[in-house]
Chain A
Amino acid sequence: MTAVVDRPATVQSGQTRRHAGTPAVRYRILVTALLAVAAVYFLVPVYWLVVSMTKSSSGLFGSFGFWFADPHPIDNLRAVLTYDHGTYLRWFANSVLYALVGGVVATLLAAAAGYGLAKFSFRGREAVFNVVLAGVLIPGTALALPLYLMFAKVGMSNTYWSVLLPSMVSPFGVYLCRIYATAAVPDGLLEAARIDGASELGIFRRIVLRIMSPALVTVFLFQFVAIWNNFFLPLVMLSDSKLYPITLGLTSWFGYTDRQPVLYQYTVGGAFLSVLPLMVLMVVLQRYWRTGLTEGSVKA
């Protein structure tokens, strides 16, 4: 309030409104109501999923979707996990393998490349960076088809490698890491370590990776989710259902529902299980989604 008194010349029409108490309350109610409406929209499908995973196939069709009817959550989940010799667990393990290995390797490669582009000057550096940036803009699905043809040519389609190897490349990660390393890694520290006789690899492993860790968590999360959610690449590459990730497996169940109605129930239960780990990941690691995002968008 004192500030308002200090600068009477600049205070204009806003002054009267600032003193009234009721509009602020009304404003707060309006904002909260709008946010609540949005929350209903985003949570309704999730709520439906939680209710529906407790139902049998006939319950799915025969009862009101937004309320429980004869709930059997544990039996249903057990049925999902044991159906077809536990194939769901195998798909789950495959998804973890693809997303974890692909995410870790992609993050380390992006960290090294981003650091190299940020802290070493060499001829053609900007050209290299622009090629990587162009890679960010290429639709992943436009690559999947020719990738399949290439892997098929060398006899490597329908293997774990055919999904893993392309997942290890993250141009967006390189972009984020370069911007982060430029801003966060001090040149003086690198110089001091070099004078102390540390090797370049040693400096990277012991100093740079540690300083860059907030950006690395962000890059890893992005890549993990991208691989976990990926559908087109495994669909194109894999024909053996033993290699399927969850996304592909669930879609195959959903596609058979007209012949085997029990698969409705399994698809719903499987969908429920598949979103659990990522939701936990998002809630627990939410603050990391912030770090690095800003650095990424400032220069765009």
Chain B
Amino acid sequence: MSRSSRSSRAAIGFLAPFGVLFALFFVAPIGYAVYQSLFTVERSGPLGLGGAHTVFAGLSNYSRALADAQFTASLGRVLLFGVVQVPVMIIGATLLALLLESASARGIRFFRTAFFLPYGVPGVVASILWGFLYVPGISPIVSLAHGAGWQVDFLSSGTVLWSIANIATWQFTGYNMLVLIAQLKSVPGDLYEAATIDGANAWQVVWHIKLPMLRPALVLTTVFTIIGTLQLFSEPLVLKPLTGNINGSYTPNLNAYTEAFQNNNYNLAAAEAVLLALVACVLSFGFLKIVGRREKP
């Protein structure tokens, strides 16, 4: 009896410091955002000069956000972005991991470090860097292309989304590759050996052994990438001054930021933040559900 009470007191002691901060800075903000999203500021008098007071608004901030064509367009934009960029990056990371772990690879340390380096470049700095490489006048890529008679414009309305996708891919492919390599290394080497002895060729080893082994790591990296995609913010914010094709509501996050700090409509911004968290939950849990179902035959 005294043992178990000592044990549970110790457990509380170890969990409490993290628990308190988690409650304050993770749970409470969500609760506060939900609370804020249910109110609205009403201004009275002519031109709203008679003073402002907060009134309960029910779900009207949510219906306003969802009826706002700019906000729904921004959601659609990041979804389109994700449908293309997430597979491209995960497949790219898988390819690089398999190549580096194949028996034919040379200079592994150099290549692995080179691929991983961009992860150490902060998102805004990566955006500034690529911004310079996109802008005509500074960009050597644009001037090389023009020299070859190819009129590229990385910042046109049709291309700018994919220019942003390139920044995200550049930054995170190497990181995802490293997670996948770690998973590959956890596979006992005799397994490959046995398969090769049994006459499996390189493709069969990849297809029947390595890829199924990579599955958990692939699920993990995909979920984190989906969450990261929905949060897209610093890239469009940094590129915004360089092109007229990015506005203040280009992504859901940018939209919420503009709503809060330029239009001072914190309540609507809170509703948008809650909607974004909901979409993130639905997509990541949905993805986990789908792969979880396929796991059981």
Contact = CB atoms under 8 A, between A and B. Distances in A.
A51 to B, nearest CB: 9
Contacts of B107: 32, 35
Interface string A131-147: 11011011111110111
B10 interface: yes
B58 interface: no
B152 interface: no
B62 interface: no
B28 interface: yes
Given A28-B106, A281-B120, A117 B15 contact: yes
A110 to B, nearest CB: 7
Interface string B248-290: 0000010011001100001001100110110011001100000
**How would you classify the secondary structure of chain B's contact residues: helix, strand, loop or mixed?**
helix
B179 A39 contact: no
Contact of B18 (A31, A169, A278): A169
B124 A296 contact: no
B10 A146 contact: no
A61 to B, nearest CB: 6
Contacts of A4: 197
Contact of B125 (A60, A112, A113, A275): A275
Contact of A147 (B25, B138, B219): B25
Interface string A148-190: 1110000000000000011011010010000000000000000
A91 interface: no
B128 A267 contact: yes
Interface stretch (B44-52, B66-74, B83-91, B230-238): B230-238
Contact of A171 (B22, B30, B130, B231): B22
A61 B173 CA distance: 30
Nearest to A167: B25
A115 to B, nearest CB: 6
B14 A116 contact: yes
| Interface magnitude class on chain A | 35 or more
B241 A145 contact: no
Contacts of A166: 25
Contacts of A138: 26, 30, 277, 280-281
Interface string B38-65: 0000000000000000000000000000
B199 to A, nearest CB: 4
A169 B12 CA distance: 17
B186 A143 contact: no
Given A14-B199, A138-B280, A27 B231 contact: no
A232 B185 contact: no
Nearest to B166: A41
A120 B11 contact: yes
A260 interface: no
A48 B18 contact: no
Contacts of B173: 42
Contacts of B145: none
Contacts of B181: 290
Contacts of B185: 290, 294
Interface string A257-285: 01000001001100100110011011100
Nearest to A255: B241
Contacts of A120: 7-8, 10-11, 14
B19 interface: yes
B170 A42 contact: yes
Interface in B83-118: 96, 99-100, 102, 104-107, 110-118
A290 B178 contact: yes
Contact of B256 (A11, A31, A48, A145): A145
Contacts of A122: 7-8, 11-12
A16 to B, nearest CB: 10
B245 interface: no
B30 A143 contact: yes
B104 A31 contact: yes
Tell me which of A3, A132, A145 has the highest count of chain B C-beta atoms within 10 A of its own C-beta.
A145
B182 to A, nearest CB: 4
Contact of A271 (B6, B112, B129, B227): B129
Interface of A: 3-4, 7, 10-15, 17, 24, 27-28, 30-32, 34-35, 38-39, 41-43, 45-46, 48-49, 52, 60-61, 64-66, 109-110, 112-113, 115-117, 120-122, 128, 131-132, 134-135, 137-143, 145-150, 165-166, 168-169, 171, 174, 200-201, 204, 225, 228-229, 231-232, 235-236, 246-247, 250-251, 254-255, 258, 264, 267-268, 271, 274-275, 278-279, 281-283, 286, 289-290, 293-294, 296-300
Q: Which 7 pairs show the lowest CB-CB distances between chains A and B?
A: A65-B140, A116-B14, A278-B120, A120-B11, A113-B18, A146-B33, A146-B29
20 contacts: A13-B199, A14-B204, A35-B96, A39-B111, A42-B174, A43-B117, A45-B170, A46-B118, A48-B129, A113-B15, A113-B17, A120-B8, A120-B10, A138-B30, A145-B260, A149-B270, A169-B22, A169-B26, A251-B238, A254-B128
Given A43-B114, A143-B26, 19 more contacts: A14-B201, A34-B99, A116-B10, A122-B8, A139-B230, A139-B280, A141-B273, A141-B276, A142-B33, A145-B256, A145-B269, A149-B32, A204-B14, A229-B123, A274-B122, A282-B117, A283-B117, A294-B183, A300-B220
